[in-house]
Amino acid sequence: MLHHIVLEVSDLDRASRFYDAMLSPLGWRRHTNSEEAIGYGISRPVLFITERTGARAEGTLVSLGAPGIAAVKAAWEGGCDSGGSNVAQPGETGAHGSGSYSAFVRDPDGHDIEITVGGE
Residue 119 confidence (pLDDT) above 70? no
Per the structure, the complete domain to which residue 56 belongs is given by 5-117
pLDDT at position 53 is 79
Find the range with the poorest average confidence among 20-29, 32-41, 57-66, 100-109: 57-66
Residue 1 confidence (pLDDT) above 90? no
Average per-residue pLDDT for the chain: 91
At 75-109, the pLDDT tens digits run 999 999 999 999 999 999 876 555 689 999 999 99
pLDDT at position 85 is 96
CATH of residue 66's domain is 3.10.180.10
% pLDDT > 70, the chain: 93
How many whole angstroms separate alpha carbon 93 and alpha carbon 113? 15
DSSP 30-98: EEEE-SSEEEEESSS--EEEEE-TT---TT-EEEEE-SSHHHHHHHHHHHHHTT-EEEEEEEEESTTST
At 61-80, the pLDDT tens digits run 999 999 999 999 999 999 99
Count of the separate structural domains present in the chain: 1
Residue 120 pLDDT grade (very low, low, confident, very high; cuts 50, 70, 90): low
